Amino acid sequence: MNEYRIVMNSGCPRIEGSRIGVYDVMDYWPDKGYSVEQIAAMFRLKPEQIRAAIQYIEEHRAEVEATYREIIARHARGNPPEIESKLLANRPKIRALWDEIRRKHSERNGTA
């Protein structure tokens, strides 16, 4: 049986060998009604990896919950106005790039 660990990556506790952090798991556990198997399937991980994250959450509950509340509050505030204006200004460029990608894809597949 593999022993899965939680490692610190850029200041975030993550499931070793993945990009999934314990805060990602908290979005679905414990109060959201998802089983370990359902969470594992969503993240394409093994249930044992999710159990390692849950164990870490339980062992560091106060710290993890405080940081999780900060993350939720930050997401609720949204981006600062200067970032929103940059995003808005870049939308036409992004749309044009996607249109070009779709056009090339259509040409390759003969659906143009």
Same structural domain, 23 and 69? yes
Considering the entire predicted model, what is its pTM?
0.71
User: Does 61 lie in the same domain as 83?
Assistant: no
- Mark whether 51 and 16 lie in a shared domain: yes
Together in a domain, 73 and 92: no
Do 71 and 83 have their domain in common? no
d(CA 8, CA 43): 19
- Residue count of the chain: 112
Rounded to whole angstroms, how far apart are CA atoms 112 and 110? 6
| Per-residue pLDDT of the chain in tens (112 residues, 90 and over written 9) | 568 999 999 889 999 999 999 999 999 987 888 999 999 999 999 999 999 999 999 999 999 999 999 999 999 999 999 999 999 999 999 999 999 999 999 998 887 5
3-state secondary structure labels for all residues of the chain: CCCCCEEEECCEEEECCCCCEHHHHHCCCCCCCCCHHHHHHHHCCCHHHHHHHHHHHHHCHHHHHHHHHHHHHHHHHCCCHHHHHHHHHHHHHHHHHHHHHHHHHHHHHCCC
